[in-house]
Chains A and B, each alone.
Chain A
Amino acid sequence: MLTYVIRRVLVSIPTIVFISIVVFGLQLLLPGDPALALAGEERDPQVIAELRRMYHLDEPVWKQYLIWIGNVLQGDLGESIRLKVSVSDLVAAKLPVTLELAAMAMLIALLIGIPMGIVSAVRKESLLDYSANAVGLAGLSIPNFWLGIMMILLFSVQLGWLPASGFVKPSESLSQNLATLIMPAIVLGTGIAAIFMRHTRSAMLAVLRSDYVRTARAKGLREPRVVYRHALRNAIIPVVTLGAIQFGELMGGAVLTEQIFSIPGFGKLIVDAVFNRDYAVVQGVVLCTGTGFIFLNLCADLIYVVVNPRMRG
């Protein structure tokens, strides 16, 4: 098992290196002279020359990358051109907001998706199964930014139950914090709930057909015990690892959700950066989410080994 863990950790390293190359490579996509693009509205040749020197734009590309990655490894993701703050500080300030939103959305997705998947597998081809499938398919097909708009129309504009936008820190008022986050979390969670539902359903169906479940039934065990103690335990493992993979989906969805509900998180940071041509911030956000995703997947795989006795050896 130890060798597996070491090998698994080592495999992540080249992936992270490639992510950094992809992130760095983004700036090669800039049309024309990157110094001009970085300068934005500024047309002063002195400023442009300064930018060229600051970002080592005269050096060959591989050297630029090495300088950049060297800084990144020291925690220096560059500086936001517009806000004149270091990108690392910006990321550190915005990340907790998005993580809270993502955690709430994930909780909602698990609470809806897994029970729905179990029920529709156990009651296969019943009305419940069909409606769960219909809800699942709808969850996959409704873009979350439209769902957000529709929910604001209903709960804020029509009924006036919840605030339409804004964010209150949990340290200021926990109830206000939850009130501002509940709608965005539902919007962000439904798509993932649908994915959980579909995977739980197929995993449960496969397990319920297996020999050991038939044995458990033949022993005369009650159906709930067969379903929850015998079947679910095995079916749930791949679904949990799926949770880590859905992190990427959550971060992508958060960009739109934060935009709609004006939540000052990671997603809003990248969108604002895009429109202000604040490229270092865009790169910082992509690099952090990519690395975070690799780390979460590593954790999921290691947990998988720990909970699955067959993988220990």
Chain B
Amino acid sequence: MTAIAATDDIPVQRRSAWRRLIQRRGAAVGLVVVVAFVLLALFAPLIAPYDPTATNFLRVRKPPSLEHWMGTDEIGRDVMSRLIFGARASLQAGVISVMIAVLLGVPLGLLSGYAKGWVDSLMMRIVDALLACPFLILAIAMAAFLGPSLTNAMIAIGITTMPIFIRLVRGQVLAVTVEDYVEAARALGNPHLRIAVRHVLPNIVAPVLVQSTLAIAAAIIAESALSFLGLGQQPPAPSWGSMLNVARQFMSQAPWMSWWPGLAIVLVVLAFNLLGDGLRDALDPKET
């Protein structure tokens, strides 16, 4: 019975959640900006006016002009082209590190909430310990031991983001497993794994989706912070964080070098935050 009712309901629910999402002006704007940056990253070679790594020593630190809309950097590279290619590093880091966090965190959270007992207490102490070490400090330490690279930065951000998902999923599981329909499924003799996958998992999709969107925003900031410190994307490959790191040395001679990468980070992060807030409201009909 429950299975039939559920399959009938889901498309309707999803459609109305989608409508609620795009009706929110903030969320709609966020979505448009995110899509725009994704397109920018995907089609970077077609959109960027110059090669992002091509140096030109005749055009060192030129302010914004018709030829170079965002100016040039300390070795004559086009800032706008680097910014467009830099979107790849940021979005990649945001999405992949959160994927790592979700793929590790969700099963562990399910296990923790479902197994209860000593497995749960052990897991929660580990989560507490990981959450106690400041996110960025732990990510810096991990990136330091793994060695500086974009891949290692993503691993470090992913692992430090994971405990939030473990705790979120565990909480949801504890709340769902006392529901009548889960009791009923258990009374019918369904195996644990089946209950976890068929009945518990669908209930945690919405909160995980919301948390993932907000986590992508945090991960993009974290990646740019690590790259800013020199622990992420390595030169000459462009990334917004490493562009800011170089720009810092030319603050009085070439301030435009530090305007654009920062603005790009703010825009993308703001868009993901707006989208996450909108998703939370849209997926939770109780919230008005």
Contact = CB atoms under 8 A, between A and B. Distances in A.
B270 A290 contact: no
Contacts of B266: 138, 141-143, 146
A286 B273 contact: no
Interface stretch (B53-61, B124-132, B175-183): B124-132
B248 A260 contact: yes
A237 interface: no
Contacts of A249: 134-135
Contact of B133 (A256, A271, A274, A289): A289
B137 A26 contact: no
Given A279-B145, A286-B141, A149 B262 contact: yes
**Overall SS of chain A's interface:** helix
A255 B133 contact: no
Given A141-B269, A143-B221, A282-B144, A149 B133 contact: no
Contacts of B273: 137, 140-141
**Overall SS of chain B's interface:** helix
Given A18-B125, A22-B129, A146-B262, A274 B270 contact: no
A143 to B, nearest CB: 5
B255 interface: yes
Interface in A282-313: 282-283, 285-286, 289-291, 293-294, 297
Contacts of A286: 133, 137-138, 141
Contacts of B143: 274
Most chain B CB neighbours (cut-off 10 Å) among A30, A141, A249, A259 = A141
A143 B133 CA distance: 20
Nearest to B224: A143
Contacts of B134: 248-249, 251-252, 289-290, 293
Contact of A15 (B132, B138, B231, B244): B132
Given A248-B135, A252-B134, A274-B231, A141 B270 contact: yes
A22 B130 contact: yes
A27 B145 contact: yes
A298 to B, nearest CB: 11
Nearest to A294: B132
B228 A256 contact: yes
A250 B143 CA distance: 20
A154 to B, nearest CB: 10
A137 B142 CA distance: 29
Interface in B231-245: 231, 244
Interface string B251-288: 11001001001100110011001100000000000000
B229 interface: yes
B230 A141 contact: no
B145 A26 contact: yes
B134 to A, nearest CB: 4
A274 B261 CA distance: 25
B265 A143 contact: yes
Contact of A256 (B126, B131, B144, B225): B225
Contacts of A260: 248
B147 interface: yes
A221 to B, nearest CB: 27
A293 to B, nearest CB: 5
20 contacts: A15-B125, A19-B133, A22-B129, A27-B145, A137-B273, A141-B270, A142-B266, A143-B266, A145-B244, A146-B244, A164-B251, A248-B132, A253-B136, A255-B140, A256-B225, A259-B229, A271-B140, A279-B145, A290-B132, A290-B133
A270 B265 CA distance: 25
Contacts of A137: 270, 273-274
Nearest to B138: A286
Contact of A153 (B132, B221, B258): B258
A252 B137 contact: yes
Given A150-B262, A270-B141, A290-B129, A255 B136 contact: yes
A252 B135 contact: yes
A93 B112 CA distance: 41
A275 interface: yes
Given A19-B129, A22-B129, A145 B141 contact: no
